[in-house]
Structure 1
Amino acid sequence: MANGDRTVVIAGAGSIGCYAGGCLALAGRRVILLARPRIEAALRQGGLRISDLEGRDRLVKPGALGITVDPAAALPEADVILVTVKSGATQEMAALIKAHARPDAVVISLQNGVDNADRLRAGLGPRTVLAGMVPFNVVQSPDGELPLRVHRASDGKVMIEDGDAGLVRLLAVEGFAVEAHADMKAVLWGKLLMNLNNALVALSGLPLATELADRRWRLILAGQIDEALRAMKASGIEPARIAGLRPALLPKVLRLPDWLFRLLARRMLAIDPQARSSMWDDLQRGRPTEIGELQGAVLGLAERAGTPAPLLKRVTALARVAEAARLGSPGLAPEQVAPPGGSRSA
């Protein structure tokens, strides 16, 4: 089947889903966005504006893609389903796909965390389910702004599990680079190491570039990564490289003085100045966060491996408090997250 004849359904058209779907539609792919009512209404009124770090700024007109809130309308049309819901909604989405999608539709998880593809497989039975990873950050415009804008605020290639070369040809389009990878387990655990910073951005309320430029915050991230690497080593997990670095080197680079970090970590700092994390956005909107799938995944691994993880526990607890308060980011200082002399090591 030619690329133009295959229909891609974005199952969970939030920031990442709208960005992926918009790029695909601009490249002539047949796309249906399965969205929440707020997103559907905005897209029908003003279309979808797609911009990125490289300076592209493109408009997808409302008629250029399918938009619906009804799984029964979208999923039966799918040849490929890109699952972009938050981790907490994975099982619900699996049930919807099982109920409405054709058995031959290929399902790809483009979600945070390390086990969402496995959750989808558990719910879908003998269907083709592939793991995937999105390395970049996407920022969504404020409620009420038209057209709805999704802006890719950092770079990187989307990785999908190897097995079908046609999928890469279908999905790799301008603004949305895609390649296959033979070891998605390593890729997902490598991505998780840097995703441990999502909670720090959420707790601080700072833009990602500002937070990473401050060594006090990087020390906390480095401490979390140390704990994660110990748990992974004890469990026989070898994470993939992050931003070109071997994972073991990442804490050392993060602990460098600010001036030297800026010099050596340009790739890591190639981020839009206003970009924040999806967890920050969840706190701002009063939604459940993915702390359980990020820090929580490592804590579970550490518990099973018998390795200590006090800093990860501390960050998780603070995120849970902020989540329960439903008041947005608490705007904490680094000393409130990891007091000097605590588990944060310099």
Structure 2
Amino acid sequence: MKVGIVGAGSIGCYVGAVMQLAGAEVHFLLRPRMAETLSVHGLRVSDLRGLDRQLGAESLHLHTEAAAMTGLDCLFVTVKSADTAAVAEQLAGVLNGSETIVSLQNGVGNAAQLRQSLPNQPVLAGMIAFNVLNCGEGHFHAGTDGAIMVEECAAMDELASLFAATQTPFEWQPDMVAVQWSKLLLNLNNPINALSGLPLKDELSQRAYRRCLALLQTEALQAIRAAGLPLLKLTAVPPSVLPWVLRSPDWLFRKVAQPMLRMDPLARSSMWEDLELGRRTEVDWLNGEVADLARRHGLVATANERVRELIKAAEQGGRRDFSGEELLTLLRA
């Protein structure tokens, strides 16, 4: 199978490497800086389950022009949500209609945007439930548990076997709307983690930070219920009771939600990594999406609006070392 990775950052490099290890011919469309890094160091992937494999630089198909994506069997779009429109425009000029596109991105609207911009291409919604950290020198580490989920498509059955080879969890899903909104609920921790300056495990082990997340999720759940949107259980805890579990004392949280803390001690959110690298974050496609949904149904999502403001300030060099108590006070104000 010939696969393209459109936007080979942390997620794209990891997913592409896993498929190449299974025998796929993978072509990476990436920025010149990343192409230079991989051409020197090759591509290494690891995870918390023990995977640790290296692909030599000579085995990688690295490209900086979208024309290289023409005629491949499947393209995984892994760019940040802010770049979806621009990438779709680039692809529109080179694809021939035979390539199946999988949107493997955060947020809930990227697949729809790709369908609108590329009406002649089959587009599948997808989601990745684990975090991948760029460790430098071509090494990408999956530090949390979770699966890759893709909208059911019989024509793409071969994809499942490509992930099975490295025991990377993969699932076909009949209802990606439920998956995407359920994942968005979990992704509301991204700004909390980014503003804490802590690894995910340390942050989630502190009740004050979890109470911040509970505030954001409570607002999101209210909006989701008002909109009549479906949800799916992606963790050991059903979505409807997540805020209650997060607000629980540390000893009870560790007992009830132990699988939520099964992660690499150094794992971080993608939003933390974006801020570290001086990139625009996806806060508008996460907390902004919640605020917009609430507004459309006569509700307010004050905490989500405030955390969005804090992340916007952090993008301009503002604080990223808030204690849990400081952050909770700001979100409640």
Q: How does 1:195-206 map to 2 (within 5 A)?
A: 195-206=187-198
Aligned with residue 71 of structure 1, among 57, 66, 73:
66
Return the letter of the residue paired with 1:70: E
Partner of 1:313: 305
Aligned with residue 169 of structure 1, among 160, 176, 190:
160
Aligned with residue 93 of structure 2, among 91, 99, 108:
99
Return the letter of the residue paired with 1:134: I
Deviations 1:267-301 (A, max 9, x none): 11111101111111111111100000000000000
Question: More displaced, 242-251 or 12-21?
Answer: 242-251
Percent of aligned pairs with the same residue?
43
Q: How much has 1:63 moved relative to structure 2? A: 2.4
Q: TM-score, normalised to structure 1's length?
A: 0.92
Task: Find the aligned partners of 1:88 and 1:160 in 2 and give their Cα distance.
Answer: 21
Aligned with residue 334 of structure 1, among 311, 324, 328:
324
Return the letter of the residue paired with 1:293: W
Partner of 1:191: 183
Partner of 1:304: 296
Aligned with residue 81 of structure 1, among 75, 85, 92:
75
Partner of 1:3: none
Partner of 2:41: 46
Structure 1: which 4+ aligned runs deviate by more than 6 Å? none
SS in 2 for 1:302: helix
Q: CA RMSD in A?
A: 1.5
Aligned with residue 153 of structure 1, among 128, 139, 143:
143
Partner of 2:113: 119
Deviations 1:66-119 (A, max 9, x none): 1111212x2114210000000000011111111112211000000000110001
SS in 1 for 2:266: coil
Q: How much has 1:157 moved relative to structure 2? A: 1.4
Structure 1 stretches of 5 or more lacking a match?
A: 1-5
CA contact (8 A) 2:18 2:163 kept: no
* Inter-CA distance 206–311: structure 2 relative to 1 (3 Å threshold): same
Question: More displaced, 173-182 or 117-126?
Answer: 173-182
* Inter-CA distance 193–89: structure 2 relative to 1 (3 Å threshold): same
Partner of 1:343: 332
Task: Find the aligned partners of 1:125 and 1:138 in 2 and give their Cα distance.
Answer: 31
Is it true that 1:214 corresponds to 2:206 in the alignment?
yes
SS in 1 for 2:171: strand
CA contact (8 A) 2:236 2:260 kept: no
Question: More displaced, 164-173 or 331-340?
Answer: 164-173
CA contact (8 A) 2:78 2:105 kept: yes
Q: TM-score, normalised to structure 2's length?
A: 0.96
Partner of 2:282: 290
SS in 2 for 1:78: coil
* Inter-CA distance 300–167: structure 2 relative to 1 (3 Å threshold): farther
Q: How much has 1:175 moved relative to structure 2? A: 4.2
CA contact (8 A) 1:50 1:151 kept: yes
